[in-house]
A and B are shown apart, each in its own frame.
Chain A
């Protein structure tokens, strides 16, 4: 029984503030679908349901004039709920449930998987392969627990355990997650579907078996038994502790006030060669580490825009995922109890002195006049020296024919971007197709490209506007304003790469009353 699309049915809804809106269809159902109201009516005994009649009937307590106005305008004015005066109830502290004492029992915490949610997106390959925040797990869910808990139970990441709650049993692999609360185990649901389509079927374990309405989000008394089996979990980042302050820089506001230049380190400025002049545009990017929340929206946007193929769990286990932008999650402090988490999006830095360009024997990666490090797919013979020589490791190689093996509809590829063949290297291009389109329009209108005309896919998707792309040659551009900050630094500049993408260091302002937290 096909469900009628939202544009094909009558319905009503309330906005977040209570405002009523009547939904009317744009077209007759294309596939003879029914709306949810019609289905319920049939189940209630009505043989021939009429969506319009049902909704009109629901509003029959209002006048005909009201109905006509509501349908014509779309919203019913002033139907929002009025604000209500509230105050905190007295004696609240006594009414709260007692904090669970640290004990031998584990509490199961049920959370929706960040990408698959309740499981509805299990058949979406992009979301399956998108690394989960913090754990960077792909293609699987795992029972997440704190290092101290794992040690107590004698478990390590990848070991299969049998889980049992009051409601049911299941098996899951364990993942040791730094910063997780002790004595509880997070069980993400949304996986383990048996009927989900080709991609989603049988991926991960089903946490719904262990869950009931008695403890929808947490359930004490979780039993956990090691089985001794090992399960391979595919993650995209294997080293998350901060080794030095070269890649990620951050400090407290206090320190910054005392030393505003803390993020600046001496960089080499000499070169044997005369500097190259970028006369027209000089594209650059600025990424604010204070804004990045690690949501990975940029990752998916890039995948959509640039025809990046998914590679499947086996290949992710071999670390061959193809994401052009990756969110590196860094922990500062002790491995057991990290104090701070940093998220750093890393794309091709488009170095002005790109080490990758120098070592390609066939001129497959060169620099264009706008300062972009361009990748010429049809010239690449696949020596992979560029990937070895990239200090940021942002290059991805097509070890197999990933694009051909990717089970997507052929019409779903972005026609502005080439699909890469087997044996070819690829990497972030600063969305060069968008740059070209903007340039064509600007040339046609005989004007320079305005700041903000070009938004890269990652910039467009970022909800916190952490990523800004623009022209260095434009003194008023947003990217220049970002780079003027004393927090602005380049990663690994001591290698004389002259990066075009720079980061703004993270500032923390911890409340001294809470302590370092």
Chain B
């Protein structure tokens, strides 16, 4: 598509076109879920963390599973934006705005979860190393502390990265806009971007640096999330493969979410010639690759206890395969490992409904994987007299659904007010490909 009409098309979505009905419906639904979230959090803060199903010995439940799930999905966006920028993959430009925006809100939801799950969340700031009257410092050896640092960095870096990538497009909107208030709004966000060669120079210095920081950040953040569990001695958690296992899982769920967002958006906004079937094909292949990686990790998870023969690990694995949580375990295997193998077939990759369903299955399967990891190892641990089955309460589900409301509300707002395709990058692609038409 020629560059000028692309810009028109994308910016018109934000500026000119009347907000479509589906947006209002979606936004209304998300906002009501957000209200559920607020209600669930309010009740949680009032009554205490006991409104959830967590207990002794399963002291972590949905909240930590949710946190890992959200942070995992956030990573997919970062991989597309950052890693594939560094590899100079051109196809990334069509989807990277959606991916980064998804990352920002996933990371917001992820960051909330570990705070609200604290027994005394109002003291969460004690995890920050500041000199205080108690003379104490955080306990740096704890994986939870590494987690805090990692998430803090990830949040700041993701927002920065997303925002810096957004500035030229904000300037475009400011320049194209006719409404005075909108001009001011986008003008402030554009930070005075003029598109001069000086500006582009700074941009081209900054953005690759940010990308070079973000790409390894995904691996390190998710390795640390994995160490949250691997740093504990519970059988089923204490596995050295958890850092890469979590990275694989995170990237898999990230790609799945990007697909789940990209497929409806391109249809709703008529961006089929910008985000083409080739893009979907690539994303599907990436999802297949990461599914194979996680399959390997699942295989190791089962193989190693048998190889080592340690009784408690074996009991943990057997409990997963055929115990109380076996249905959940096998559901995760089917959704994350078996069904994505359909993506070997070209006709599946090019069928958008199927792609969407497979991605949704992966997203759900990855949540189940985190739930099984958290709960099943804790319920069968080294002290048999403490074995107890975790049952979630209504408030567990409400918090989970509500966090989805937070994400969706934020994303819908972004859909409305921010261009969903990175216009300047697409322009650059189009110019480079002349006289061939850009895909």
Surface stretch bound by B, among A84-92, A118-126, A256-264, A355-363: A355-363
Q: Does A247 make an interface contact (CB < 8 A)? A: yes
Q: How far is the CA of A382 from the CA of B126 in the complex (A)?
A: 12
Known contacts A397-B59, A399-B50; decide if A319 and B383 are in contact (CB<8 Å). no
Q: Which of A306-336 contact B (CB under 8 A)?
A: 315, 318-321, 326, 328, 330
Q: Would you call B59 and A384 a contact (CB within 8 A)?
A: yes
B233: chain A residues at CB < 8 Å are: 355, 389, 391, 495
The 8 Å CB contact of A424, one of B50, B119, B311, is B119
Q: Would you call B388 and A238 a contact (CB within 8 A)?
A: yes
Q: How far is the CA of A431 from the CA of B145 in the complex (A)?
A: 30
Known contacts A391-B233, A396-B56, A401-B48; decide if A385 and B120 are in contact (CB<8 Å). no
Q: Which of B79-122 contact A (CB under 8 A)?
A: 117-121
Q: Would you call A382 and B118 a contact (CB within 8 A)?
A: yes
Q: Does B127 make an interface contact (CB < 8 A)? A: yes
The 8 Å CB contact of A391, one of B53, B126, B134, B381, is B381
B381: chain A residues at CB < 8 Å are: 391, 393
Q: Which of B121-154 contact A (CB under 8 A)?
A: 121, 123-124, 126-127, 134, 136-139, 141-145, 148
Q: Would you call A388 and B234 a contact (CB within 8 A)?
A: yes
Q: Which of A373-410 contact B (CB under 8 A)?
A: 379-385, 387-389, 391-393, 395-401
Interface Cβ pair total, 8 Å cutoff? 155
Q: Does A243 make an interface contact (CB < 8 A)? A: yes
Contact with B along A344-355 (1 / 0, CB 8 A): 001000000001
Q: Would you call B144 and A383 a contact (CB within 8 A)?
A: yes
Q: How far is the CA of A492 from the CA of B311 in the complex (A)?
A: 12
Q: Which of A196-254 contact B (CB under 8 A)?
A: 237-244, 246-247
Q: Does A170 make an interface contact (CB < 8 A)? A: no
Q: How far is the CA of A246 from the CA of B235 in the complex (A)?
A: 15
Distance from A382 Cβ to chain B, minimum over Cβ atoms (Å)? 2
Q: Would you call B385 and A326 a contact (CB within 8 A)?
A: yes
The 8 Å CB contact of B387, one of A239, A401, A421, is A239
B136: chain A residues at CB < 8 Å are: 362-363, 379
Known contacts A381-B123, A399-B55; decide if A389 and B386 are in contact (CB<8 Å). no
A239: chain B residues at CB < 8 Å are: 384-385, 387
The 8 Å CB contact of A392, one of B53, B232, B383, B387, is B383
Distance from A127 Cβ to chain B, minimum over Cβ atoms (Å)? 21
B120: chain A residues at CB < 8 Å are: 380-382, 421-424
Q: How far is the CA of A357 from the CA of B54 in the complex (A)?
A: 21
Contact with A along B225-253 (1 / 0, CB 8 A): 00000011110000000000000000000
Q: Does B39 make an interface contact (CB < 8 A)? A: no
Q: Would you call A391 and B56 a contact (CB within 8 A)?
A: no
Q: Would you call B232 and A388 a contact (CB within 8 A)?
A: yes
Distance from A32 Cβ to chain B, minimum over Cβ atoms (Å)? 46
A355: chain B residues at CB < 8 Å are: 232-233
Q: Which of B120, B127, B143, B315 has the most CB of A within 10 A?
A: B120
Contact with A along B35-57 (1 / 0, CB 8 A): 00000000000011110011111
Q: Would you call B378 and A385 a contact (CB within 8 A)?
A: no
Contact with A along B369-399 (1 / 0, CB 8 A): 0000000001001111111100000000000
Closest partner residue, chain A, to B382 (CB atom):
A391
The 8 Å CB contact of A380, one of B119, B144, B232, is B119
Closest partner residue, chain B, to A318 (CB atom):
B55
Contact with A along B59-80 (1 / 0, CB 8 A): 1100000000000000000000
Known contacts A381-B121, A388-B378; decide if A328 and B49 are in contact (CB<8 Å). no
B123: chain A residues at CB < 8 Å are: 362, 381
Q: Would you call A361 and B119 a contact (CB within 8 A)?
A: no
Q: How far is the CA of A320 from the CA of B315 in the complex (A)?
A: 24
Chain A interface residues (CB < 8 Å from chain B) = 237-244, 246-247, 315, 318-321, 326, 328, 330, 346, 355, 357-363, 379-385, 387-389, 391-393, 395-401, 421-425, 492, 495
Chain B interface residues (CB < 8 Å from chain A) = 47-50, 53-57, 59-60, 117-121, 123-124, 126-127, 134, 136-139, 141-145, 148, 231-234, 311, 315, 378, 381-388
Pairs A–B under 8 Å by Cβ, sample size 11: A319-B56, A320-B50, A346-B385, A379-B126, A381-B118, A381-B124, A381-B126, A383-B117, A391-B382, A392-B383, A393-B382
